[in-house]
Amino acid sequence: MNRPAIVLAMEPSRTEHVLPDAILRRLDTIGRLLDPEPLQRLDDARARRLLSEAEILITGWGAAYVGPEIAAVAPRLRLIVHAAGTVKGIIDEAIFDAGITVSHSAEANAVPVAEFTLAAILFAGKRAFRFRDLYVADRNRDRTYPMQREAIGNYGRTLGIIGASRIGRRVIELLKPFEYRLLLFDPMVDAAEAAGLGAEKVELDELMRRADIVSLHAPSLPSTQHMIDASRLSLLKDGATLINTARGILIDEAALLSELKTGRIDAVIDVTDPEIPEAGSLFYDLPNVFLTPHIAGAIGLERARLGAMAADEVERFTTGRPLLYQIRRQDLENIA
């Protein structure tokens, strides 16, 4: 394919982070960037004009839904690369039926999530958040010294990973230098594969019962909604920490808040359901909750990695090399 026509479709305010000037220049070398200003709609006159020529469409956060009608308005389209995370809610299944290849940059988004999770695990093992609150409350070490004699720290901790997903596997890889005992729950992974990752395959209830720290990395599917319910939360040992950087819907949040109110466990929560908790939610106020506004994924400088990965895929496609991050229709059932 000789310098194919490339069209962008994403929220313009995100473009400068995902596709900074250096990446835009690279794309215009690999292909012909028809307009550096991304489309916000796919159904107006400008969109119809650009899409009529487009051979490659690069989408991102804030992109309009790419529905089945795209085949009619973009008859030359051969590749869609989503320069963000999941393609769910962005790419219609009919796109695959039309013979258009789909790829994404979710692997790039997995990197900062795994890094954030590693930091959360290390802080949780040291009970850093509780130490912070005690130290600030007393402005001395009278209350922190006794706590230091408790069974805290990261050496020999038992860590439970729920989901050997793209991110879950990256977290496991990052944990290799540390001396954790790793438990893994994932119905798609057998005992031999888990052992190859350095983990012991267990059922979910056993993981919840044995782990000192539990980290969620499962996709949001009908079968995984509220998989962490009141019954499973009750299995957590006193002083355990639950970390969620995946999807809020994986946890029965009413049950979690009820458990957190007892002070028995801690939680690091980066995602909730709904995405922004109600103003009166106890997530904001409980001292044993470390709440962040969905920042584990790519933000700021990290977003350029998404654009770079998208450009890499475009270059592979135009030079006839296999794509590294192609999504096929059957993959949609299991991805986040």
Active site residue ranges? 247, 275, 294
State the DSSP code for 162.
Answer: E
β-pair type (213-216, 200-201):
unpaired
Phi, psi of 314 (to 5 degrees): -60, -45
Q: Is the dihedral of CA 18, 104, 204, 259 positive or negative?
A: positive
The one-letter amino acid code at 325 reads: Y
Closest CA to 195 of 186, 187, 184: 184
Sheet with 200-201, side-by-side order of all strands? 200-201, 181-185, 158-162, 213-216, 241-244, 266-269, 289-291
Residues 6+ apart with CB under 8 A from 181: 156, 157, 158, 159, 200
The first and second tokens of residue 199, run together, are 């983990």
Instruction: Return d(Cα 83, Cα 19) in angstroms, integer.
Output: 9
Instruction: Return d(Cα 174, Cα 233) in angstroms, integer.
Output: 26
Closest CA to 71 of 89, 91, 85, 87: 91
Closest CA to 73 of 99, 48, 55, 93: 48
